[in-house]
Structure 1
């Protein structure tokens, strides 16, 4: 049953207090009273309660704050009890759902954490590249090249021929390129963010025609143009870079990357990056009127070769799906093939 009492009401528009007749329904937890304009219904669970020395103040509303000041001791006890019950009931309802609901909520939270770690955080890490000036790509690539080339056997004659070979091509490069041939049975090639592209003699031996070499160079140059090495490194280091990115600490981002410089050679690019390099590499091949089947032939030959998985395919993940993707471009895109005697001659020297 509702009880009738009096209280002081402030309408939020003026500081003039008004005495209102207040009805409190204990069972429903609702305060009701009549103002000049309308009947007011306040749910105890939705009001803000402030206890004073001999009274309580109830605040109601969002844009317009209205207040009730109550000094009746019994009503104060009843309202405070009702407020506690409303809060307790919500908590109790959650408790009463039992273990199945709690387990489901825990799994959902865990799932969100895992998804964030796998997708959101790496995405943020990749976007961190935008904070890094391209000049740093050059410094990083130079540092790696200087540290690692001293431990390898560079074939000077072949390197000169490969640079001449590249100069005959339109590579759409966004920075100066330099090509180095390393004497090694390792079947590999990789591009550094400063435009240095390293090709091992092991992969050159597997090539049968100059169009395969053009396709390889076009693919690697595309990685340089799109800053894939920097983006992939930032993805791999995303956990470390996240806080630095949020704080806008560019020096922290670059320091973390610099500490992991030696991972440049062994970076494994994502499928999206590889497909992008395939598309851009295909454009380079077509622009030079070279047979685009070169890239498909090379990858198929490496995949079918009778030896352990080449290092090139481990750092450039090649699946049958990607080979089909390349073959589809060959079938659907238009291109013209012109024999290039100079490229053919230089390829023989490089081989």
Structure 2
């Protein structure tokens, strides 16, 4: 009753021995014949026997220090016999393969539960994790990451050097209240769009500049993009989008691996959509920048109105690809205008805007 046919590896020779396992009260005995034909036995103390977890019906046990001795048994009676013989010792934990022995309804239920947990992890766990990782990411590495992404993706665009220079000069006249180095590039593209990369890189399409009429509209656009940089929204979106790859790289403390993944996906990352929550936060920060600089908050309303007027349906805006523009944001901007106090007349900023307008002609 307590004897089983097994394959035994003594840990010294590469060959396996056909052997008999006998289950003694406090130990196991393995009897086999060595290559010379001599009957040999090995004694395994019960407390030192380790079960090798696997996903087959082959039961494997290991014993001793390296190189370990090993027993393999195919007898289906072994688990139940071990349970009865040694009630105080657990040899087998419930295995994943046991699931497949359940009925179809249970299997479907388990599958749906796993999918639900995965969904909850993606929609709630991953955003939280992305924010937590982004908040602890070194600024110097973030700037390096943004520069790498920028160099990789800018090759696909035709940079307008002159517009880049005058728009950058315009931006220098605004205190954006951030410690990030803000660097602006204007590219030739008819799309009404702009986007921010981690670390302070902002790319503006000349198509959106040509739809503007006032310095406040451009200031509103830049303040909004800088706010995305300041609050690391781009970084959080990137971590969420590429969570699996980045998580492994960060787990291995492989910063170069992170940069490589981002560089390989730069063009895709430029079109990541911000959530409504992040857009609202960027709007609030942008408006705070306006107040601190004494700029007219009507610039935000005018910018949103220009975009809405250009495309008709506010929900069909091209800017939706990176910035969901909703009626709520328009109403919030209008409400902020009503509550604004004194606005200063910034002649220097106006002159810089006129230079940009001349370049756009």
- TM over 0.5, shorter chain: yes
Query: Is residue 347 of structure 2 the alignment partner of residue 347 of structure 1?
Result: no
- Which has the larger Rg? 1
Specify the alignment match of 2:331 in structure 1: 324
* Contact 1:215 1:294 (C-alpha < 8 Å) held by counterparts: yes
Greater relative contact order: 1 or 2 (C-alpha under 8 angstroms, separation 6 or more)?
1
- How many Å apart are 1:110 and its aligned residue? 3.4
The alignment partner of 2:202 has SS state of strand
1:254 Cα deviation from its structure 2 partner: 4.0
Are the structure 2 counterparts of residues 158 and 121 from structure 1 closer, same or farther at C-alpha, using a change threshold of 3 Å? closer
Q: Counterparts of 1:1-351 in structure 2 under 5 Å?
A: 52=25, 107-130=112-135, 132-246=137-251, 249-306=254-311, 309-331=316-338, 333-351=339-357
CA distance in 2, matches of 1:112, 1:153: 45
SS in 2 for 1:262: helix
> For each residue in 1:280-321, what CA deviation from the matched residue of structure 2 results, as whole angstroms up to 9, or x when unmatched?
100111111111121122113212324794433321111212
Name the CA shift for 1:253/1:214 in 2 (closer, same or farther; >3 Å). same
> Does structure 2 conserve the Cα–Cα contact (< 8 Å) formed by 1:140 and 1:261?
no
1:82-107 per-residue CA deviation (whole Å, 9 max, x = no partner) reads x9xxxxxxxxxxxxxx9988866664
TM-score w.r.t. length of structure 1: 0.64
**What SS does the aligned partner of 2:343 have?**
coil
Asked if the contact 2:146/2:198 (under 8 Å) is kept, the reply is yes
Unaligned runs of 5+ in 2: 1-23, 27-83, 88-102
- Total equivalences in the alignment: 265
Change in 2 beyond 3 A, CA 1:174/1:124: same
Asked if 1 retains the 8 angstrom alpha-carbon contact of 2:152 and 2:266, the reply is no
- Which has the higher mean CA deviation after the structures are superposed, 308-317 or 212-221? 308-317
Greater mean deviation of Cα atoms: 240-249 or 222-231:
240-249
Tell whether the 8 Å contact from 1:122 to 1:236 is kept in structure 2 after alignment: no
- Write the deviation string for residues 40-84 of structure 1: whole angstroms up to 9, x where unpaired: xxxxxxxxxxx958xxxxxxxxxxxxxxxxxxxxxxxxxx8xx9x
SS class of match (1:269): coil
Q: Give the distance between the partners of 2:213 and 2:287, measured in 1 at CA.
A: 18
Contact 1:131 1:250 in 2 (8 A): no
1:211/1:290 contact within 8 Å kept? yes
C-alpha spacing 1:335/1:193, structure 2 compared with 1 (3 Å): farther
CA separation of 1:250/1:126 partners in 2, compared to 1, >3 Å: closer, same or farther?
farther
- For the 8 Å contact 1:188–1:311, the answer to whether it is kept is yes
Look up the SS of the partner of 1:267 in the other structure.
coil
* Contact 1:190/1:197 (8 A) holds in 2: yes
Shift in Å at residue 252 of structure 1? Answer: 4.2
Q: CA RMSD in A?
A: 3.4
Check whether the contact 2:130–2:239 (CA below 8 A) recurs between aligned residues. Answer: yes
Normalised by the length of structure 2, the TM-score is 0.63
Q: Taking structure 1 as reference, are residues 265 and 99 closer, same or farther at Cα in structure 2, changes over 3 Å only?
A: closer
Distance 2:317 2:242 in 1: 25
Measure how far apart 1:326 and its partner are. Answer: 2.7
Do the aligned partners of residues 348 and 112 (structure 1) sit closer, same or farther apart at CA in structure 2, a change above 3 Å counting? same
Deviations 1:185-240 (A, max 9, x none): 22111222232222222111111211111111111111111222111111101133
Q: Secondary structure in 1 aligned to 2:210?
A: helix
**Residues 307 and 321 of structure 1, relative CA distance in 2, 3 Å threshold:** closer
Give the direction of change, closer, same or farther, for the CA distance of 1:127–1:265 in structure 2 (3 Å limit).
same
**Mapped contact 2:148–2:263 kept (Cα < 8 A):** no
Provide closer, same or farther for how the CA distance between residues 167 and 119 of structure 1 changes in structure 2, counting only shifts above 3 A. Answer: same
Q: Do 1:132 and 1:254's aligned partners in 2 also have CA atoms closer than 8 Å?
A: no
